[in-house]
Chains A and B, each alone.
Chain A
Amino acid sequence: MATLQQKHDWADDDELEETSTELPPPQKITNKDGSTTIIEYRLNDNGQKVKTTRRIRYITHREVVNPRVADRKSWAKFGLSAKDGAGPAPDTTSVGENIIFKPSFNWRQDAKDESKDPNAQAMKDKLKDKKVKCRICNGEHFTARCPYKDTMAPIGEAGAAADAAASAADEAAAASQGTAGAGKKGSYVPPALRGAGGAAAAGERMGGKYGERDDLATLRVTNVSEMAEEQELRDMFERFGRVTRVFLAKDRDTGLAKGFAFISFADRSDAVKACAKMDGFGFRHLILRVEFAKKAA
């Protein structure tokens, strides 16, 4: 017996088991903690052996029931239910989704938040104190009317939130733009006529702070991993100085990064340092390429 087992190669074990159609007898083990383990074997549709291990603990729960109620539970079913078996019949009885019901004095407040969204009136109320925000420069105008729309790509939402300092400057610029554009009152101005009214503003725009920042302290990072997050980039670049803006281009549908990002520093010298150190940095299996952002054509 012992020799036979020695000869037997362990690698064949698996195969042997599969070919044998005999099923081991079910086992019942009583555990120390009072539970019972039941191991059963069966063959599934593909002829494969399936081992089912169940651990069961029996708890005797005693309940004192009204004898009349107990008697009624043993009544035979009748009428349309006469043929139903014991227990609730699935065609007449089902269980609904869980309802959280907790009585409270201010349930109305709790409930309001839920009911608000689909309600148009509530939506209006919500938007009442919302301000128009430009996706490009965070200014208080529509993105389509942004003075910088030709020069910059829209910034990501997370980046925009962090971009406190830059947007403050933008708002100042936007305000001046706003006074210039106030006369138009939102009416359409053909491109040919736009130059005349906005000449001064355009001139200001070219030499504005935004352009300066773009030129001097913004790095373009390419070969960024698809899985990258803005916060990660921010963390990486913050080592070299104060980062005012991080923009990671993301695909609108999939939410994955497109592979490039812009990092704006408060100080140009920090940007130079970062450019030198981070170029060729390995990040998420890819080697980053960092260079100064070129002004858009």
Chain B
Amino acid sequence: MRPILLSGHERALTQIKYNRDGDLLFSVSKDQQICVWFAHNGERLGTYHGHQGAIWTIDVDPTSTILASGSADNTIRLWEIKTGRLLKTWDFPTAVKRVEFSEDGSKLLGVTEKRMGHLGTIVVLDIKLDVDAEQSDEKVMTIVCEDSKATVAGWSYLSKYIIAGHEDGSVSQFDGKNGDLLYNIPIHELNQPITDLQWSHDRTYFITASKDKTSKLITAKDLEVLKTYPADTPLNSATITRKKDYVILGGGQAAMDVTTTSARQGKFEARFYHKIFESEIGRVRGHFGPLNTVAADPTGKSYASGGEDGYVRIHHFDKGYYDFMYEVERERQNKLNQQQQQQTVSA
């Protein structure tokens, strides 16, 4: 596995995201530009300019036409992916920490920071998936997080719920239509912020990463914890892979402590866990700083990680990755193969 190093950013990466077809990779960092790369060879397609502050978050709509980004300059911006043209800017009172398109791309949620007397909010905007259409200024919905600010949020299947992870380690479920709070469950350790929330391909369950050194797989419908993946370092990001039942966790020593710890102790590795058996199956080294964000290719061919060191590394999996199976998995595979053979014989 030869990683492709992308050095388009001058500062720490904050989020990376594949589009749905898995051919484009978007990356944002604390410098003020967005980069888009071809995932297969690491070629940079372009950059998007306009933000005046660190960019915290990015998302791409399911048709790969429009890009949304949220920044510390208190704006959410929409971009045309193909040309890099700025389509729309929404202003907010505080920084935007997370944006996410709904499953069909018709809505966009944004998580705003709690600061300067403003409470943290989750705002929902209507999006017209057309680069030439006029986007409305109106916020469709605003959810105010009074107890603990939301750090991450996302849309569940069919935009039915909005799931938010909070700074106090709890996870909330809001109604996707009217914004009512349905559940708020303490999932992670108290006051250990949830740092990432990424969906399974069908958005029925999601994975969280937390500073409490664990990552959890949770259902969207009733916030039931399905699996827990313990790590030995604070986690910044977690993602679910396709094709193979793995999860990838990224983390490491907190960024401010990096200079006082050696690279080996810093645990700057991507950790692979088996999604179902919850056991760690391997690590991938390479970054010189903590991993701030990891993303798995929706086609299952690769994964990418972005680090505090300013690099994005794209890893295309090789045969050993696909061949690995637990004994029970292999037995099941053999049984299925036999059944298939019998069926073909009888037919």
Contacts and interface: CB of A to CB of B under 8 A. Distances in A.
Interface in B276-296: 279-286
Contacts of B38: 73
A118 B283 CA distance: 19
Interface stretch (A100-108, A169-177, A215-223, A284-292): A100-108
B82 A75 contact: yes
Given A69-B21, A72-B24, A107 B283 contact: yes
A103 B277 CA distance: 13
Interface stretch (B39-47, B106-114, B136-144): B39-47
Q: Determine the interface band of chain A, counting residues with CB < 8 A from chain B.
A: 35 or more
Interface residues of B, number: 46
A68 B48 contact: no
Contact of A99 (B42, B83, B285): B285
A88 interface: yes
A77 interface: yes
Nearest to A97: B2
Given A79-B84, A87-B43, A88-B43, A99 B284 contact: yes
B224 interface: no
Contact of A96 (B46, B64, B313, B326): B313
Interface in A79-110: 79-82, 84, 87-89, 91-105, 107-108
B226 interface: no
A105 B277 CA distance: 11
A75 B45 CA distance: 8
B1 A98 contact: yes
A92 B82 contact: no
A81 B3 contact: no
A178 to B, nearest CB: 40
B4 interface: yes
Contact of B282 (A94, A101, A118): A101
Which of B48, B281, B285 has the largest number of chain A CB atoms within 10 A? B281
Contacts of A93: 4-7, 37, 41-44
Contacts of B6: 92-93
Nearest to A73: B38
B7 A94 contact: yes
Contacts of B284: 99, 101
Interface in B309-326: 313, 315, 317-318, 320-321, 324, 326
B44 A92 contact: yes
A99 B286 contact: yes
Contact of B281 (A91, A104, A119): A104
A81 B44 contact: yes
A79 B46 contact: yes
B324 A103 contact: yes
Contacts of A69: 21, 23
Contacts of A89: 43-44
B42 A88 contact: yes
B242 to A, nearest CB: 15
Given A99-B285, A118-B264, A81 B5 contact: no
B199 interface: no
B49 interface: yes
B233 interface: no
B282 A96 contact: no
Interface string B51-69: 0000000000000100000
Contacts of A73: 23, 38
Contacts of A92: 6-8, 44
A11 interface: no
Interface string A110-128: 0100010011000000000
Contact of A78 (B8, B46, B313): B46
B272 interface: yes
A81 B7 CA distance: 13
Contacts of A84: 43-44
A20 interface: no
B33 interface: yes
Given A69-B23, A102-B324, A104-B324, A80 B33 contact: yes
A66 interface: yes
Contact of B64 (A68, A87, A105): A68
Given A69-B21, A101-B1, A103-B272, A82 B281 contact: no
Contacts of B5: 93-96
A239 B280 CA distance: 56
Contacts of A111: 283
B2 A96 contact: yes
A99 to B, nearest CB: 5
A99 B315 contact: yes
Given A68-B21, A77-B44, A78-B83, A100 B1 contact: yes
B282 A102 contact: yes
B302 to A, nearest CB: 12
B81 to A, nearest CB: 9
A93 to B, nearest CB: 4
Contacts of B4: 88, 93-96
A96 B42 CA distance: 12
Nearest to A119: B264
B278 to A, nearest CB: 12
Contacts of B324: 102-104
Contacts of A104: 281-282, 324
Given A88-B41, A108-B280, 11 more contacts: A73-B23, A81-B47, A92-B8, A93-B37, A95-B3, A95-B42, A98-B1, A101-B320, A101-B321, A103-B272, A111-B283
Interface of B: 1-8, 21, 23-24, 33, 37-38, 41-49, 64, 82-84, 246, 264, 272, 279-286, 313, 315, 317-318, 320-321, 324, 326
7 contacts: A79-B33, A87-B41, A93-B7, A93-B44, A98-B1, A101-B321, A102-B320
Question: Which 6 A-B pairs have CB atoms at the shortest separation, nearest pair first?
Answer: A79-B47, A78-B46, A103-B281, A103-B324, A102-B320, A93-B42
